[in-house]
């Protein structure tokens, strides 16, 4: 087993180089190791521990980039919504021990990482039997991009202390859903889980969609964030009624400095779920004939409109409590926002009177199934006898004329 120790001055220089962020030399998108954590910070010979590295894309975030809810230092896998040429595909990540026993240190076909995205990987290690500073390397292979090799300092009960550094992590609290046109709040909590203070912390909030605009400041300054400390930012946003539905990214960029004034940057993507809500109402009511009298066949047409911000699906209209016979149910299907559809009912006005009824509209949207009711009434007038009498009179007149004509002709004969 190889033991690696270093002298004081060269050791400090190597450690300083190690702690500087890795950079990409190729123009094609690749990744960098934006942060790492060794747990515990100092291992005893033969102890087991973990190394967690955070891989971040080198591509600059831009409006319309694929959305992924991932915060630097967070947990869980990545979830990219669409492929773009700016994504970097990570084929595998390995941890080369360099004297440290690697228990779990291989990840294959990890997948794509887009602009502004990052995710953590955790390796399990066992410290060697001899004390000293060891530098296992993280090897990252990127398809069509620059491969990455990054040494991680591991202190095995060494007298040489590593330079302590901050480690910032961003957590966010967002509403479960936001209806276009409604304001909403987002809470950002910035934790320092490192062993040193972070100074001159600048937090920049950038909404990538014109449908979302910040109501308060977009930039925040924190003079110092001590180890174990946290800072809470309460943000308020407004949405446009025409905001596109779906997850809309809000980028949070955190710039800060280490104890030796080295600059670091982290980018977190906060996904805002814009989910529209359908609202159903009555646009117009028409009957044929327009004046209903007892005995008429009536076509009742009710135009139902969607005044909401999302599609209304499985729209069904039903007439209830109407004491006239006929068809009392109509299926309209899907009605898009700003559109309407006809619900047609065929009724028989078998008697006169005032007939109240309830129009019930059932529909679904992303929030589930809904029902709305509207109280209406139909007036059936008394049957008009004038046309009947006019018809009888006409028949009598024709009969009289015919009789007179017949009488005259008979007399002439």
What digits encode the pLDDT tens for the residues 204-253?
Answer: 998 877 889 888 888 999 999 999 899 999 999 999 888 888 888 888 99
Sheet with 312-320, edge to edge strand ranges: 329-335, 312-320, 353-365, 368-380
Note the CATH architecture for domain 280-380.
Sandwich (2.60)
Domains of the chain, residue spans? 1-163, 166-275, 280-380
H-helix or E-strand containing 123?
strand 118-126
Specify the pLDDT at position 113: 85
Specify the pLDDT at position 109: 86
Q: Do domains 1-163 and 166-275 have the same CATH topology?
A: yes
Specify the pLDDT at position 61: 55
Specify the pLDDT at position 384: 62
Specify the pLDDT at position 28: 65
Written as tens digits, the pLDDT of the chain (413 aa) is 334 443 433 444 444 444 444 433 345 678 888 888 888 888 999 999 999 998 888 775 544 333 333 333 333 333 433 444 478 889 999 999 989 999 998 999 888 888 777 888 999 999 999 988 899 999 999 888 778 888 888 989 886 655 677 888 888 899 988 988 899 999 999 999 888 889 999 999 988 778 898 888 889 999 999 998 999 999 999 998 888 888 888 889 999 988 777 788 888 888 889 988 899 999 999 999 989 998 899 999 999 999 988 899 999 999 999 999 999 999 999 999 999 999 999 999 989 999 999 999 999 998 899 999 999 999 998 876 556 566 777 788 887 777 777 777 777 76
Give me the residues paired with residue 232 across strands.
189
Specify the pLDDT at position 162: 59
Specify the pLDDT at position 394: 77
Give me the residues paired with residue 134 across strands.
154
Specify the pLDDT at position 400: 77
Dist CA 390 CA 383 (whole Å): 14
The answer to whether 53 touches 150, Cβ cutoff 8 Å, is yes
User: Which CATH number is 166-275 given?
Assistant: 2.60.40.10
Specify the pLDDT at position 406: 76
Specify the pLDDT at position 303: 95
Fold of 1-163: Immunoglobulin-like (2.60.40)
* b/e map 246-274, b = 16+ CB within 10 Å: ebbbbbbbbebbbeeeeebebbbbbbbbb
The answer to whether 80 touches 68, Cβ cutoff 8 Å, is yes
* b/e map 17-31, b = 16+ CB within 10 Å: ebbeebebeeeebbb
The DSSP 8-state label assigned to residue 389 in this structure reads: H
The answer to whether 211 touches 205, Cβ cutoff 8 Å, is no
> pLDDT tens across 166-202, in order?
888 888 899 988 988 899 999 999 999 888 889 999 9
């Amino acid at each position: 087993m190889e033991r690696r120790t270093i002298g004081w001055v060269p050791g400090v220089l190597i450690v300083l180089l190690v702690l500087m962020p890795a950079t990409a030399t190729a123009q094609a998108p690749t990744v960098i190791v934006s942060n790492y954590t060794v747990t515990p910070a100092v291992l005893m010979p033969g102890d087991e521990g973990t190394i967690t590295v955070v891989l971040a894309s080198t591509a600059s975030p831009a409006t319309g980039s694929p959305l992924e809810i991932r915060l630097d230092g967070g947990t869980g896998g990545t979830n990219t919504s669409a492929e773009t040429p700016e994504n970097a595909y990570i084929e595998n990540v390995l941890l080369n021990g360099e004297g440290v026993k690697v228990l779990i240190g291989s990840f294959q076909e990890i997948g794509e990482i887009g602009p502004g995205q990052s995710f953590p990987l955790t390796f399990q290690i066992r410290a060697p039997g001899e004390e000293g500073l060891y530098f296992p390397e993280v090897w990252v292979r990127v398809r069509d991009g620059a491969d990455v090799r990054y040494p991680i300092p591991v202190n095995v009960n060494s007298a040489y202390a590593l330079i302590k550094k901050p480690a910032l992590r961003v957590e966010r609290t967002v509403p479960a859903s936001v209806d276009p046109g409604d304001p909403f709040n987002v809470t950002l909590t910035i934790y320092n889980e490192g062993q040193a203070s972070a100074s001159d912390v600048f937090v920049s909030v950038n909404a990538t969609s014109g449908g979302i605009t910040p109501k308060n400041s977009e930039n925040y300054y924190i003079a110092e964030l001590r180890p174990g400390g946290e800072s809470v930012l309460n943000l308020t946003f407004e949405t446009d009624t025409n905001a596109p539905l779906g997850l809309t990214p809000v980028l949070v960029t955190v710039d800060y400095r280490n104890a030796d004034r080295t600059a670091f940057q982290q980018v977190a993507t906060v996904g805002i779920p814009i989910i529209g809500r359908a609202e159903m109402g009555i646009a117009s009511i028409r009957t044929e004939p327009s004046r209903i009298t007892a005995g008429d066949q009536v076509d009742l047409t009710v135009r139902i409109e969607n005044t909401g911000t999302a599609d209304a699906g499985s729209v069904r209209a039903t007439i209830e409590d109407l004491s006239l016979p006929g068809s009392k149910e109509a299926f309209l299907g899907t009605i898009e926002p700003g559109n309407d559809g006809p619900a047609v009912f065929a009724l028989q006005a078998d008697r006169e009177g005032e007939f109240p009824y309830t129009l019930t509209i059932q529909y679904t949207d992303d929030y589930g199934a809904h029902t709305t009711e509207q109280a209406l009434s139909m007036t059936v007038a008394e049957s008009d006898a004038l046309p009947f009498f006019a018809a009888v009179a006409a028949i009598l007149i024709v009969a009289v004329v015919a009789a007179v004509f017949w009488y005259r002709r008979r007399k002439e004969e």
